[in-house]
Amino acid sequence: MKILAFAGSTSSTSINKELVKFVLKDFQDHEINLIDLNDFDMPVFSVDREKKGFPDEAHRFLKVIEECDAIICSLAEHNRSYSAAFKNVFDWASRINVKVFQSKPMLLMSTSPGGYGGGNVMNTAKTFFPQFGADVKQTFSLPKFYENFDIESGVIDPLMRKDLKDKISSFKAQINN
Ligand SMILES: Cc1cc2nc3c(=O)[nH]c(=O)nc-3n(C[C@H](O)[C@H](O)[C@H](O)COP(=O)(O)O)c2cc1C
């Protein structure tokens, strides 16, 4: 099974990417494609630029989704919403195929240094990603990343760790069916 993974961030020190990498340790028996949104850098979307054609990167983003069997992602929250980097890729891709996520099962996550763990971007994504073709199977938000996460050992808090592990197990069962 091919797993596409990404963080909704272009930060070189992305905490969302750390969370994704922690989760991917439970998917070592699968083929993993961990992409970096920096490799999908495009002009800021506008209807005027769109008239000049679609960037190759937008097609490539849709292609990596097409080629996967499941998606694991964690979204950064900027000003209560998607990061500009993710939104730009999302906007370009949605203009080629509004069903961006192409019915792929998704483990959707978010984290932030704050106590809501990117809960606002999570609420937006879990509400609206299905309209863009995502089959959101599980969701997880990790609050206070710097208190609750260790780079070596992952989620520290036992209850949060169990919650995430249970969701990973359920997701695995759902994508294997
Ligand atoms: C412009 C900007 C806006 C932000 N807005 C929020 C916010 O609304 N909610 C939040 O929890 N964190 C917010 N943050 C903090 C981010 O959650 C934090 O930078 C986090 O590391 C982003 O995830 P990343 O490391 O994966 O890029 C903001 C950060 C920036 C730079």
pLDDT tens track, the chain, 177 positions: 999 999 999 999 999 999 999 999 999 999 999 999 999 999 999 999 999 999 999 999 999 999 999 999 999 999 999 999 999 999 999 999 999 999 999 999 999 999 999 999 999 999 999 999 999 999 999 999 999 999 999 999 999 999 999 999 999 999 987
Is residue 49 within 8 A of residue 84, CB to CB? The reply is no
Q: SS3 of 93, please?
A: helix
Distance from Cα 67 to the centre of ligand 1, integer Å:
30
- Quote the tokens at residue 83: 């990061």
For strand 81-82 and strand 77-78, is the pairing parallel, antiparallel, or unpaired?
A: antiparallel
The residue whose C-alpha atom lies closest to atom 25 belonging to ligand 1 is 14
Q: Which region holds residue 102: left if phi is over 0, alpha if psi is between -120 and 50, else beta? A: left
d(CA 135, CA 77): 21
Establish whether residue 111 lines the binding site of ligand 1, counting it when its CB lies within 6 angstroms of any ligand atom. no
The residue whose C-alpha atom lies closest to atom 23 belonging to ligand 1 is 76
Establish whether residue 78 lines the binding site of ligand 1, counting it when its CB lies within 6 angstroms of any ligand atom. yes
Other beta carbons within 10 angstroms of residue 69's beta carbon come to: 14
Is residue 10 within 8 A of residue 85, CB to CB? The reply is yes
d(CA 121, CA 119): 6
Establish whether residue 18 lines the binding site of ligand 1, counting it when its CB lies within 6 angstroms of any ligand atom. no
Distance from Cα 16 to the centre of ligand 1, integer Å:
10
Distance from Cα 37 to the centre of ligand 1, integer Å:
16
The residue whose C-alpha atom lies closest to atom 28 belonging to ligand 1 is 78
Closest CA to 63 of 91, 40, 86: 40
| CATH class of residue range 2-176 | alpha beta
The ranges assigned to domains in the chain are 2-176
d(CA 81, CA 123): 9
Closest CA to 9 of 54, 32, 39: 39
Out of 19, 78, 122, mutate this one to test ligand 1's pocket (max ligand atoms within 8 Å of CB): namely 78
